[in-house]
Amino acid sequence: MSLNDVKEKKWYKLDAFAKTYSSIISEGRTTCFRLSVLICSEIDENILKKVIQKLEKKYPFYNSELKKGIFWNYLQHKKTSFFVGVENTYPCTDIKKRNPLRIIYYKNKLSVEIAHFLTDGVGATIFFKDLIKEYLEELYFNSSENIGNKSIFNSVKEDTKEFLEDVEKDEYVDLYSKYMKKVNKESTIKEAFHFPMDVLEKGQYYITTGEISIDILKKESKKYNTTIGKYLLGVYFKVLLEKYHNSKQQIVIGVPVDLRKIYEEKTYRNFFINITPSIDPSLGDYSLEEIIEYLNNYFKIKITKKEFYKSIYKAMNPIRNVVIKSVPYIIKRLVFPFVFDYYGERGYTTGFSNLGVLNLEKKYEKYIKGFRFLPPPSKRCKIKMGIISDREKAYITFGNITTNHEIEKDYFIYLRKRGICSKIITNYRY
């Protein structure tokens, strides 16, 4: 049997979140996010394609396309390879169902764009790290003196071997269903404050990234007895509360939490839950100290197995609804954008995603100039914030589909006033 024959027959059910994400895709809500790395030299497409051929064997699940079923979409292996091409448009736009993972490059920037129905940020990072390592190995370490030696691709690296073995065992498992228990639903705010700005023309997505020293952020966050992530989230709240202090609705920030660590699971698929810290501007002014104290307490209470059982139950409700399950997909496609709004983004002002530190072996570091994590654009949550770090810097990116860029400006100005300077990179002109 040929490889293509295997690919034609192999398919996967979508996980609970993927069912929703695959049913709400539109020009204004692509559900696509991006990870990028800046290399010291321009990207060599020939080397990149050689690397990708090997990664397809290592990550067969990611080389899938979205197919329509009678009641739900599903994923099926593609006959073709991963999409590879030169970047020629705005990021995170126009994701295709036949190419839910695409690898694009521009000069020295190598990027992976992934539809959220395929995986979440942590799952994407696993693939992304291997892409970087294999590309750099092929480019800088595969010298003539090593010809004839065993290829790095002939064996799976030790840091991912155990993970890959575990994933292969459970590649068909929907972990949301596994941990779904009938408990009291978690109550959330039905209607949060939303930014009063008009959205751009379809397909436009403006990006602003600030590069900040990790050492400086560590020093500053220690003053508040908190982590870098909660400190940066606290500053975001502070900026929004100052700007929209007259709002009669709560400022709510959706923060995805990786459930793999909570439940000790390993998967390529989506396995996260959004928590929703919120602050009511009508209660008066908040100091940064008050906000961070609230976040420290909120995270301590919310990030437990028992609390996430409630969140999973709430998230699974639309999927398990008898009426929704029984109607054909063509009807679901019309209904689910409204369901997603009601149960999800209607209750968020904005999003804040922190992927943490992307650790690579020391030998690769001198060839890397930085990283980017771009959150998925959304007409409801018009501005979102994504963070990824290495050992030296945090890369804080705002994704914005409006004509107004005051929030990201105010954010970095607030940090600068506290002695935290940023190198700013953006794809728009001030």
Q: Which residue has the higher pLDDT, 293 or 173?
A: 293
Task: Give pTM, 2 decimals.
Answer: 0.87
Mean pLDDT lowest among 32-46, 75-89, 101-115, 151-165: 151-165
Question: Which tens digits make up the pLDDT trace of 152-198?
Answer: 334 344 445 555 555 555 555 678 788 877 777 666 667 899 999 98
The distance from CA 225 to its chain's CA centroid, rounded to whole angstroms, is: 27
Cα separation, 409 vs 400, whole angstroms: 12
Burial, 42: exposed, middle or buried (Cβ in 10 Å; 0-12, 13-18, 19+)? exposed
Question: For residue 151, what pLDDT is reported?
Answer: 36
**In what helix (H) or strand (E) does residue 262 lie, and over which residues does it extend?**
helix 259-263
- Judge contact between 404 and 380, C-beta under 8 A: no
Whether 6 has a pLDDT exceeding 60, the answer reads no
Cα separation, 20 vs 29, whole angstroms: 12
- Could you give all domains of the chain from N- to C-terminal order, each with its CATH number? 3-170 (3.30.559.10), 185-426 (3.30.559.10)
Q: Tokens for 278, please give them.
A: 């919120």
Residue ranges of alpha helices (H) inside 344-387 are: 362-365
Whether 286 has a pLDDT exceeding 70, the answer reads yes
Question: Which tens digits make up the pLDDT trace of 359-391?
Answer: 999 999 999 999 999 998 888 889 999 999 999
Cβ-count burial 316-326 (b if 16+ within 10 Å, e if not): bebbeeeebee
- Judge contact between 282 and 248, C-beta under 8 A: yes
